[in-house]
A and B are shown apart, each in its own frame.
Chain A
Amino acid sequence: MKAKRYAYYPGCSQHGTAAEYEVSARAVADKLGITLVEVEDWSCCGSTPAHTVDHVLYGALAARNLALAEQMKLDTMVTPCPSCLIALKSARVMAQDKEHLQELRELIDLPLKGTIEVKSLLQVIFEDIGLEALTAKVKQPLTGLTFAPYYGCILTRPPQLAQFDDAENPVSMDKIIAAVGANAPDFPFKTECCGAAFGLAKRQIVQTLSAKVLAAAEAIAADAIVVACPLCHQNLDLRQEQVNAFRGARSRMPVWYITQVVGLALGFSPHEMGLDKHAVASDAILAKWETHLKEHAQ
């Protein structure tokens, strides 16, 4: 089967704090028969405070990337990051309006059509690949492990823009986790906010909100939280020590990217998936999995 080609917009996190998301995403895509063609000369998606200042400029930042992707003659652009996703999708909606389209074209000085489809990597795995094809490629099922699927606040919102899954009770990650053989119990905090970019400006907000997410994951006896967003990962993993201090807990809850979960099941090693790059170590959960696999083999 010929690999389907997607224009790939990594976004800034993928080249920095979320390097392991990038590595695992590319590896998983490759294994699942998707070719990710990185958009050449891509620039910031505009997911900055810019949108509170000037909507058109915010749109133009993302629109430049849309225009570059359109030049690649591919029908869909995929991004692993929900913030980028919303920025790109917003620009695409803005470009449907004739007047705005003209403004955007003038600002970016590139031909822009606003026709290219934008999807999250999660959506591509869930809809374009499909659960059946995914299950068929599982080499080492993640049996015995329990994950808390955490979608974050913007992956499915606003629903008119996201056009994916149920906005209030999404289930795509739950089903993917189940497809690779692990448990995904009902996680009530799956679409709550982690505090996002307030980590810098008002740390207490992140501490309050992320503390609740971590506590909720512990409450359902999860071995790890699964995310699809670099910012969620940062708050839950990198800041887990801070959050622990704030809530007076000693939690050591690993936070994995959904691509890492899928990658492990597809046969990659934890190291290949960058699981050793997290702030919170995954030793315990990996050991648990190994024990399970051994028991299973016997």
Chain B
Amino acid sequence: MNRSRFLKSAQEPVKAILGDRLALVGLFVLLSIIAMALFAPFLSTHEPLAVNEREEGSLFMRSVDGDQVHWLASSPLGEVTLNAADYRDGLGMAVGRDGVVWRYAGDGWSPLDTPITTTLNAVNIREDGATLVAGAQGTVALWSPDDTWQTFEMPEPLSVNDIAWRDDNTALLVGGGETVWLLNLVSGEVTSLESPVGRGFELNSVALDTDGSAWLVGDRGIALRLDPQDDSLSLERLPGNRELNHIHIADSGAGLIVGERGTLLVREGAQARWQSQSAPDSRAMRAGWITDEGHAFAVGRSGIVFEREPGGEWQLVPSDEERHLRALMVTEDSFFAIGSDRFVNRLAPPSGEHWFGTDHLGRDLFSQNIHGSQIALLVGFLGAALVVLIGANVGLVAGYFRGRTETVLMRTVDVMYGIPFEPFALILVLLFEPSLFIVILAVSLLTWRTVARLIRSQVLSLRERPFVKAARVAGASDLRIMYLHIFPNVMPLVFLELAIIVGVSIIAEATLSFLGLGPPQSISWGGILHNARLSGAWRDAWWWNLPPGLLIMITVLSVFFISRSLELVANPRLRARR
């Protein structure tokens, strides 16, 4: 019988919600959000906190505006990394992963069809326009200007990292395992040269010197010199022992070697010695170029570009994006930098891959927003339940017992009213470690005050009603009267407050998370906005700001709509004359 009384008191609110169109819409939206929270792992397209990477055939162009030098990002060449590029007499070539080859003529870039599927690391154009490309697993192929390909067999499937032309029919190939091959293009014959080091160091780059000799550089700062007379290799001493990635020697004899951790070695002329120069940044430099006059350029990871006036200091030059640049291509009138390794796909606008774009760490925002619903609802409902539990009981006890009990409880409520929410929550978070529990506690500790006041005033009038007096005369205990006779009558009000406080709690949690006081390592809508603000990128990345706020808004709005129909139950006079 008692159970049926409670059921009855719950029946009316349900009827009220089902009878109100706005409330129905609210219920539908709220249920969708609940479903979103429950099925978040299935709905999200990515791991919400995983860093997403991308690669592309990045292409940067040097632009000079007055004194200001800037490397501008042009539209990328395809979607795979480009590793090397060369240019000679109006023809440019860039090669990359999966055997990709791009051809540059004065009017722009176009892809070439190739029989190669392995990664290409090196490219060098001969005087007649024939181009030798080489790469992983001993791949070596020659492209002729009549658009035919000729491939060569290497003795071992070692990675070839760079190419130089010894003469029109002989190419010098260097690569992994201290490999140095001389390839005769007419006969297809390959001669292996013995390195004096013999420890299997990777050779990364080769360049011809003005006297016909060749410089080979690689791992651990190794530098070999090839004598053109007898094809013998000798070890050269260069300053430093960091890995050297690229060497370029100009016709005048000026030379530049770049390497890991900002290594820059410069030779001012054919007879000069290699000298280490200080770099403005210590990231890995992947390619360098020096002009006959000694004007030098170096590019590397994260879009780093250095430039040096002849004889001057190296300067960091701004570039558009943090792409990992791997090669330089210099034509008569322009400089190109190309790349790029896999780079973090940061601040990407919405696309088919990332529906809501990505944040400053390249994390998928759609998945974050989906997962954010979990904390919002958890705090919203748990917080509200706790608030109503405390508030309703305090109100009930204070209103029913009156006297000293009431005074103490209601004075406590007064004190609670005097404490501002955010700073108090901040203290709680500093007192304890930030956690979900603390957030819920902070939300509920300062919100039950309203509920207590409302319930108490309702109870005050209810306890004077005849049915309460009748129960008392019949010998019912205080507890029985409070919870079985009075409580069902304040149920509509309790439901109404529950609904309102759910909305309040969700906003409160979002506010705390926005201020950086939310549980760490968890995803919430307020937290997403906190990251956006902290990173400073929110001023441009609208896709980062908009969805979490909209989601908070529609969630809270749907709860408010539901609460409005409950209000009609709690306060029937609002229904009057409708």
Q: Do A and B bind each other?
A: no
List residues of chain B with CB under 8 Å of any chain A CB.
none
List residues of chain A with CB under 8 Å of any chain B CB.
none
